[in-house]
Amino acid sequence: MKKLCLLALFVGCLINPLATHAQSTKNKKRKSKNQVEAPAPEKKKEEAIKPYDKVITKDAVTDEGLFKVHKIKDTYFFEIQDSLLNKDMLLVSRIAKLPSDLGGGYVNAGSKANEQLINWERFQDKIVIKVKSYNAVANDSLPINISVKANNYEPILYAFDIAAFNKDSSAVVIDVTKFYSSDVKAISGLSSSLRETYKVRNLDDSRSFITSAKSFPLNIEVVQDFSYNAAKPPMLPETETISLQMNQSMVLLPSIPMQPRLADPRVGFFTVSQYDYSSEALKSDQKTYIRRWRLEPKDLAAYNRGELVEPIKPIVYYLDPATPEKLRKYIKKGIEEWNKPFETAGFKNAIIAKDPPSFEEDPDFSPEDIRYSVVRYVASTTRNAVGPSVSDPRTGEIIESDIIWYHNHLRSYRNRYMLETGAANPTARTLNTSDEEIGEMMRMVIAHEVGHALGFPHNMGASNAYDVESYRNGAFTRENGIAASIMDYARYNYIAQPGDENVRFIRQMGPYDHYATNWGYRYINGATTEGETPTLNKWILDKADDPRYKYGKQSSRFDPSSQTEDIGNNSIKASSYGLKNLKYVAEHLPEWTSDKSNDYDDLKELQGELLGVWNRYIGHVTTHIGGVYEDTKKPNQGGVIYTAASKADQNEAMAWLHDNAFATPTWMVNFNILRNIDHTGYTEMFRSAQARHLNSILAFDVMGRLINGSAISEDNYSTLEMLQDVRKGIWKELSGNQTVDVYRRNLQRAYIERMAYLMTEVLKPSRFGDYYNVDQSDVRALVRGELNTLKTQLNSRKNSVSNTETKYHYQDAVKRIELILDPK
């Protein structure tokens, strides 16, 4: 057996070399014949990671900071320390430069395009950017944290190959050129809607590049210049190009997060929310934190003794270098106006306004740099100002904010100053408002926008704190202003009448601003987030019965006491005063404008805005129809949160509307003005305005609230009563042989059209699903009944009325109604 094995082995050795040689010869012949090279063996992935010196060469220009940023010709590298991997950072994308009218005028230099919480993480031989969310959280030590992570898996924004490790392997080097020079939608300045509007095809790589990348101790700032091919650009359409400059700020969030403060709906703050699955309750616990700056006293002992103490890190706002010199002092005053409320919270010098640093003082200063909070001055025809901010989604800590002031905004304030106060305020009766008055307006607008940047939303209930008659009292208005908060949209005192003396017409800070600042910013030493609640609740209860400290949400559009642009605790009475003043202004508008300037441009502009003021006064009263008062409270305060407006209140509002909104506006039809500013359109201008207010009453949501109110109590104003009152008032000419003028005919046709809408409109299921099903409610039946009643009345009058136009109008109205009731 042994011999046989040896023989087999010997034979195999003889055969295999021959076979191998034969195969090799065959392959050589094939290769020679077809000239095909065998594929090179695939490189191992590790071989792609090169030595540090082969990547970061001697030609590199390096900027030290949060990450090392290396630039080699047109290539950019980040060198990221391992200690910074898996750390929470904010990636904030802002527009630095843009074409005019992009986004219709409300997108500007400084506008934030996106804000994302990110982590840089290593995955095998790659570094990835993961976009994180704190909407769902759980304690790391609890088993449910596994499920929270599994059911909230974070998307990868971008992946980079590791190019090299540093000398001691404590950092990775990645090439970020493609990331910052490509059209990455999540950091782009062009939203999907803008791309669609301007027919953007693609980013033109040949005209797009990284302008700069700078690293600072806590942030990195990258500037990109992008040019997009677009069929319909907002500017210079023949170029078919949209060019804009983006600034990408990446900031390391605090390693020790600020202690958050739980929000309370009775005090107005912007908020961030989380679902905490660590809760022992039978459901996830939603926690909502207020957004605020981190203010901590330098001297805690002195602070606890009740002394005013400076914060460790004050809030600093820089002025935009583009700000006109003559306006800078007013902007600074508007910023630092908030030092008074901060003193109520125990801090002095909490907020500071500074001029922009010179190049010598800070060569790296840029308004887009997230290290700086800036009041941006925007060269735009837009008439507005805004106060956005960037906050830590983990705690609500505000990191930075930019106030945006649009150049033309002061013109709006000058115009409204004349229209709303000109009757009682002689200094407003001019196109050349004094610098002092313009400066005071600007100071208060800036204070309002800074309030937003401090975390405060609008408080539309603040002006409801003061009695209407108080606005005619000089001493009261000079002490209290025209609202209990600068955060209300209460711009001017339009109630004061000619002859009232020493009245303040411009808004100012109020007691609510001090109260809310103390509630949100006072440092409560030694208490946990949950442990602060009893103290915070006590501060609210101490003021709960004083209307000066009530917070009225802007979203409460159904609440007559929480309306935008109104003042006083009775909007019906306030609007009566306002219209009385507006009639005086309308009569004198030419002598204050065109007679002085010898030009009709300003008169035309102001006449158009006068109609806007009229619309606002009318709108404040329409809110009473179907109105519901909202008084946010906790159960231990007693009473209810929502109370329907009384029948008497709604009856008064309805009568007022018929007298002031739906009657022919003869005082506004001043043909001496209209014939000098336009060749036609006089009747249409008022038809559209009146129809707007009629439609706001004859609305599904209003009718739904009235149905609900009637179900609560038969004493409440009902939908049927409302519809009957509207019909009787709009068609009051039917009660006698009266001629219907063109304005009323237009209004009556608008009524029929709106009733047709109420009868036939197909609603999306979710539109009013929160409070009622329109199709299965009383609405269609009541509208049908009113149309039948009106048809009967019209039939009895259509042939007896003497005026031919009125007769034809009635006959036409009957036909319109018949088509609604029986379309076939």
**Spatial contact of 208 and 224, defined as CB atoms under 8 Å apart:** yes
Whether residue 10 is predicted with pLDDT greater than 70 in this model: the reply is no
| Share of residues in the chain with pLDDT > 90 (%) | 71
pLDDT in tens, 314-350: 999 999 888 889 899 999 999 999 999 999 999 999 9
pLDDT of residue 103: 79
pLDDT class for 32, splitting at 50, 70, 90?
Answer: very low
pLDDT in tens, 730-741: 999 998 878 999
pLDDT of residue 20: 41
pLDDT of residue 281: 63
Lowest mean pLDDT among 475-484, 677-686, 726-735: 677-686
pLDDT of residue 557: 87
| Amino acid at residue number 587 | E
Which is more confidently placed, 369 or 525?
A: 525
pLDDT of residue 810: 96
**Spatial contact of 205 and 54, defined as CB atoms under 8 Å apart:** no
- Determine whether 510 is exposed, middle or buried from the number of CB atoms within 10 Å of its CB (0-12, 13-18, 19+): buried
pLDDT of residue 175: 97
pLDDT of residue 16: 45
CB neighbours of residue 435 within 10 Å = 11
pLDDT of residue 34: 45
Write down the pTM of the prediction. Answer: 0.87
pLDDT of residue 29: 42
Give how far Cα 444 sits from Cα of 67, 335, 413, 723, 775, Å: 41, 9, 11, 43, 48
**Spatial contact of 480 and 463, defined as CB atoms under 8 Å apart:** no
Average pLDDT of span 61-70: 96
Return d(Cα 458, Cα 555) in angstroms, integer. Answer: 10
Whether residue 11 is predicted with pLDDT greater than 50 in this model: the reply is no
Tokens 């005019």 -> residue: 100
User: Which pair of tokens denotes residue 106?
Assistant: 């409300």
DSSP 168: T
CB neighbours of residue 161 within 10 Å = 12
Lowest mean pLDDT among 117-131, 408-422, 651-665: 408-422
pLDDT in tens, 572-621: 999 999 999 999 999 999 999 988 888 888 889 999 999 999 999 999 99
Whether residue 660 is predicted with pLDDT greater than 80 in this model: the reply is yes
pLDDT in tens, 804-817: 999 999 999 999 99
- Determine whether 13 is exposed, middle or buried from the number of CB atoms within 10 Å of its CB (0-12, 13-18, 19+): exposed
Average pLDDT of span 682-690: 90
Lowest mean pLDDT among 212-221, 388-397, 677-686, 752-761: 677-686
pLDDT class for 289, splitting at 50, 70, 90?
Answer: very high
Return d(Cα 213, Cα 227) in angstroms, integer. Answer: 19
Average pLDDT of span 496-512: 97
**Spatial contact of 751 and 694, defined as CB atoms under 8 Å apart:** yes
pLDDT class for 279, splitting at 50, 70, 90?
Answer: low
pLDDT in tens, 352-364: 999 988 889 888 8
Q: How far is CA 518 from the centre of its chain?
A: 25
| Share of residues in the chain with pLDDT > 70 (%) | 89
Whether residue 64 is predicted with pLDDT greater than 70 in this model: the reply is yes
pLDDT of residue 728: 97
Return d(Cα 92, Cα 112) in angstroms, integer. Answer: 7
pLDDT of residue 766: 57
pLDDT class for 405, splitting at 50, 70, 90?
Answer: confident
When the pLDDT of each residue in the chain is averaged and rounded to a whole number, the result is 89
pLDDT class for 145, splitting at 50, 70, 90?
Answer: low
- Determine whether 22 is exposed, middle or buried from the number of CB atoms within 10 Å of its CB (0-12, 13-18, 19+): exposed
pLDDT in tens, 701-716: 999 999 999 999 999 9
pLDDT class for 365, splitting at 50, 70, 90?
Answer: confident
pLDDT class for 5, splitting at 50, 70, 90?
Answer: very low
Which is more confidently placed, 142 or 99?
A: 99
List Cβ<8 Å contacts ≥24 apart for 633-642.
633/266, 633/544, 634/266, 634/537, 637/541, 637/544
Task: Tell me if residue 530 falls in helix, strand or coil.
Answer: helix
CA angle 375, 381, 383 (to 5 degrees): 65
Lowest mean pLDDT among 19-23, 266-270, 495-499: 19-23
